[in-house]
Amino acid sequence: MSETLNAQVTDSNSSTPSGGGLDISRIQAILPHRYPFLLLDRVLEVEPKKKIVALKNVTINEPFFAGHFPGTPIMPGVMIVEAMAQAGAVLLLTEIEDRDQKLIFFTGIERARFRRPVVPGDQLRIEVEVLAWRRIAGRMEGKCFVDGKLVTEATLSCAVVDRDRTKASGQNSSREPAE
């Protein structure tokens, strides 16, 4: 029997997947990202501490298409990698009990390869597998597909930080205007 569970959630008040899918409201309950920077539309499956499969519906309404490239819209590779990072963050945050007090920061990209362009009308299938996971950091391998064809792959690193620490460092870094 596969460890992949059915597309269900533990209960209607929980955003922790018991293995399966998440709709956009459940994704927003886990990730702090919002439009226009939330790059996941649905999670199809979750294997806790191992793998996540998510979808991004790529539409012409995406704000980056206005400048990348007028007349020939192509999803920027960095946005595809960010979508992989967000999928990985959903997977890892579901394993953290006090996730409302944490953020996952994207800390590195290795071996990124962009095989095919992603254009409006494509549905990006994002698959992320955990390579290493500790309470404070993780490493994942991400692959994105359109119509079953590999379009992007990369190894991603991340760090788990306290939200309070990031707020405090932001307040401390503000300076008085120079005279």
pTM for this entry: 0.83
- Among 68, 139, 143, 163, the active-site one is 68
Q: What is the pLDDT of residue 95?
A: 87
Least confident span in 1-5, 22-26, 114-118, 169-173: 1-5
Query: Of the candidates 170, 106, 107, 118, which has an alpha carbon nearest to the alpha carbon of residue 149?
Result: 118
pLDDT in tens, 89-118: 999 998 888 888 999 999 999 999 999 999
Q: Is 33 a catalytic residue?
A: no
pLDDT at res. 17: 52
**CA 21 – CA 101 distance, rounded (Å):** 23
Q: How far is CA 134 from the centre of its chain?
A: 18
24-172: which CATH architecture? Roll (3.10)
pLDDT of residue 19: 61
CB 53 within 8 A of CB 126: yes
Q: How far is CA 16 from CA 40, 57, 112, in A?
A: 16, 23, 30
* Digit-coded pLDDT (tens) for 45-93: 999 999 999 999 999 999 999 999 999 999 999 999 999 999 999 999 9
Q: What local confidence, expressed as pLDDT, does residue 6 receive?
A: 32
